[in-house]
Structure 1
Amino acid sequence: MLKAPNTVLVILAFFSIYVIWGSTYLLNKVAVTELPPFMLASIRFTIAGLLIFFLCKIMRISLAITRKQLINTIIAGFLFLAFGNGVVVWALKYVDSGFAALQISAQPLVILILMWLIDGKKIKPMSMVGVILGIVGIYLLVSQKALINNENSILGMGMIFLCLLSWAYGSLFVSKASLPTNYFVNTGYQMFTGGILLMLASLAFGEPWSSPAVWSLPTQYSMILLIIFGSIVAFTSFNYLLKVVSPEKVATSTYVNPIIALLLGWYFLNEQITLQSVIAATVLLTGVYFINTRKKLVIYSRFWNKPGKGIAEEIEK
C-alpha cells in the first residue's frame, strides 16, 4: 500500500510553485537589467545550493549520494536550471516578464506531447481539445506586431520555447530517475551543479562579473529573494511534488504563474497588457485546463467507485 503524501506539505508546495515562482519573473527582470544573465543565474543557484548543503549539515541530513544519483542531479540541474532557467533569464532582456510567463504557461501542452512521443501515452479527446486551444493561444500570443517589432524579441521567444522543451523533458526525467530520496538534498545538488554549469557558460560568453557591493538596492533585494524563496523554497517544493503527484499536475502552476507575473510586471515595471495578450492568455490557459481536467475527472471517478482508498493513493497509480 502506497503511503499518502502529507496534505499540508502538498498544499504549501503548490503555493510555492504557484505564487513564489510567479514573482520570480519580475525579480529576474529587475536584476537582468543590471547584471549579465548567466552570471545572475549562476550566483543565484550556486549560493542557494551551498546554503542548502549548510542547512543539511545543521540538521544532520546526510549529503551522501551514489554515482548514478550524482549524474542524474547534474542532468536535472542542466535541464531545469542551467538551460531551462538561465536562458529564460537571458531572454528577459528582450521580452516582458509577463509575456515570458504566458509563453511558459504552455508547459503542460509540451509535457503532454512529450509523454505521447516518449512514453506512448495516448492523448484523450479532451486533452486533444486542450492541445488545439494551446496552439491557438501561443499563436495569438507571439503574433503581436508590437512585440515582434521589438529588437531580438523573436530570438527571445524562440529561446524560451527551447527552455519549455528542456523543462518538460526534465519533469519527465526527474519523475523516473534515481535521485537522492531527501528532497532538500536533491534540490541542493541540482542547484549547485546547475550553478556551476551556468558559471562555465558565463565565462565562455565572456560576461563581466561584478561584486554585489556595487549592485543597486533593487538588484540586491531581487537576488536575495530569488535565492531564498525562488530557489530554495520553491524548487524544493517542485522536486517534492514531482515525486508525490503526476508531472501534469505539477505543471498546473502555469495557471497562476502568468497571472502573478503579468500583474507584477504591470504594477512595478509598467509593462503593457494588450487586449490580444489577454485573449491569448484566456485561450491558452483554457487549453491547459482541458489538458488536465480529464485526468482529474478520472481520478475522482475511481476514488468514488472505490471508497476504501484515498485520492492520493489513486494518483500514485
Structure 2
Amino acid sequence: MNRRAWLLFLLVSVLWGIPYFLIKVAIDDLSPVFVVAGRGLIAALVLLPVAAARGTLGALRARLGTVSVLAVVHIIGPFLLITYGEVHITSSLTGLLIAVEPVVIALLLSRSEPLTRIRVAGLVLGFAGVAVLVGLDVSGDRLGLLGAGMVLLAAVSYGVATIFVQRRAADIPPETLAGGTTAITAVVLTPFAILTWPTEPVHANAWAALAALGVFCTAVALLAFYALVNEAGSNRAGLVTYVNPVVAVLLGVLLLNESLRWSTVAGFALVAAGCWLSTRPTPIREQPAEPVPVA
C-alpha cells in the first residue's frame, strides 16, 4: 500500500475502535435504534453538504439503488446488530468479535482467490479464536450468546459490504456514497427512533457520545474507509480490524472497568493470526520458459 493508503488505514482503525466504547455510554440512556438513527442523521448532516459543495450529489441520484443496498448491509443492519448486541456483552468483546471480518472476506473471495493450505489454516485459526472468545467469555449466558451472535452477524455483513463497495460502488465519490448511505439510514430509522424517544432525563455524556459517533466514527470514518477500499482493495481494507480490537479493549478496560481475561487475549491472538494467514496473497507460480528451438 502507498503512503495515502496507510494513513487512511490508521485513521479508520482508530475511528472504528472507538465506537464500541461510545455505544456502551450512549445506550445507558438512549435506545439502540435511537443511537443508530442519531448516528445516521448526524453523519448525513455533515456529509451531504460536503458532497453538494464538491458537486457530486448527481452521482447519488444516478446510483440510488446501489447506495440503498449498501446502506442496508453496511450501516442499518450491522449498526443495529452491534448496538443491540452491546446490551448483552461488553464493548471489549464486541470489538474482538468484529475482528473476524477479514476471515469472512477471505471466504467470500475464495472463488476468485483460491484457498491455499495457509489460507485454510488461517480460517480455522480465526474461527477457533471466535470459539474461545464466545465459549469462555459468555459460556452459559444465553443473552450473552445472543449478543455475540448479533455481533458476528454484523461482521459478516461488514465483509459483504466491503466487497460490494469495491465491485459495485468504486466509481461513486466517497463523500456521496457515505452521505447517501447515512441519509437513507436516517430516513428509515428515524420513525422508530421517535417511538423510543427517552422519557427520562438523558445525561450529557450520552448526548456527547452520540455526537462523537455521528461525526467522527460514522461521517469521517466512512469517508476514509470508502477511500481506503478504492485505494487498497477490499481484502486489505478489511484488515483495519487488526487494530480496532486493541483500541476497543483498552477503552473498555480503562474507562468502563471491563475485565481483561486470559481467554480474551488468547482468543484475539487466534483471530489475529487467522486473519493474517487467511488474507495472505496467493503466490503466483512462474511458468517454465519454453525451450528455444535449436536451428
Number of matched pairs: 286
Q: Closer, same or farther in 2 for the Cα pair 1:38/1:290, shift >3 Å?
A: same
* Deviation digits for residues 43-101 of structure 1 (CA, Å, limit 9, x no counterpart): 111221122112333x3423112655111111101101100112101110100001011
1:312 aligns with none
2:209 aligns with 222
CA contact (8 A) 1:94 1:151 kept: no
1:185 aligns with 2:180: no
2:149 aligns with 158
Q: Closer, same or farther in 2 for the Cα pair 1:214/1:179, shift >3 Å?
A: farther
Residues of 2 paired with 1:185 and 1:178: CA distance?
11
1:278 match: secondary structure: helix
1:102 aligns with 96
2:73 aligns with 79
1:209 aligns with 197
Q: Closer, same or farther in 2 for the Cα pair 1:232/1:9, shift >3 Å?
A: farther
- The residue type paired with residue 260 of structure 2 is I
2:48 aligns with 53
Superposed CA RMSD in Å reads 2.4
CA contact (8 A) 2:81 2:150 kept: yes
> In structure 2, which of residues 265, 268, 271 is the aligned counterpart of residue 284 of structure 1?
271
CA contact (8 A) 1:69 1:180 kept: no
CA contact (8 A) 1:38 1:86 kept: yes
CA contact (8 A) 2:13 2:243 kept: yes
1:121 match: secondary structure: coil
CA contact (8 A) 2:42 2:215 kept: no
1:34 match: secondary structure: coil
Residues of 2 paired with 1:180 and 1:43: CA distance?
28
Residues of 2 paired with 1:86 and 1:256: CA distance?
22
From the CA coordinates, give the structure whose radius of gyration is larger.
2
Identical aligned pairs, as a percentage? 23
Task: Structure 1: state its 5+ residue gaps.
Answer: 303-317
Residues of 2 paired with 1:231 and 1:185: CA distance?
14
CA contact (8 A) 1:266 1:272 kept: yes
- The residue type paired with residue 92 of structure 1 is E
CA contact (8 A) 1:180 1:186 kept: no
1:127 aligns with 2:123: no
> In structure 1, which of residues 270, 274, 291 is the aligned counterpart of residue 257 of structure 2?
270
Residues of 2 paired with 1:61 and 1:8: CA distance?
27
1:148 match: secondary structure: coil
TM-score by structure 1 length? Answer: 0.83
Q: Closer, same or farther in 2 for the Cα pair 1:102/1:298, shift >3 Å?
A: same
1:195 aligns with 2:190: no
Task: Structure 2: state its 5+ residue gaps.
Answer: 287-295
CA positional deviation for 1:124:
2.0
1:32 aligns with 27
User: 4+ residue stretches of structure 1 with deviation over 4 A?
Assistant: 200-203
Residues of 2 paired with 1:242 and 1:79: CA distance?
16
Residues of 2 paired with 1:256 and 1:247: CA distance?
16
Q: Closer, same or farther in 2 for the Cα pair 1:237/1:8, shift >3 Å?
A: same
CA contact (8 A) 1:22 1:261 kept: yes
1:244 aligns with 231
2:128 aligns with 136
* Deviation digits for residues 271-315 of structure 1 (CA, Å, limit 9, x no counterpart): 0111111111111111111123x32x859x99xxxxxxxxxxxxx
- The residue type paired with residue 84 of structure 2 is W
* Deviation digits for residues 227-277 of structure 1 (CA, Å, limit 9, x no counterpart): 111011111111111112121111111111111100100000000111111
- The residue type paired with residue 208 of structure 1 is T
TM-score by structure 2 length? Answer: 0.89
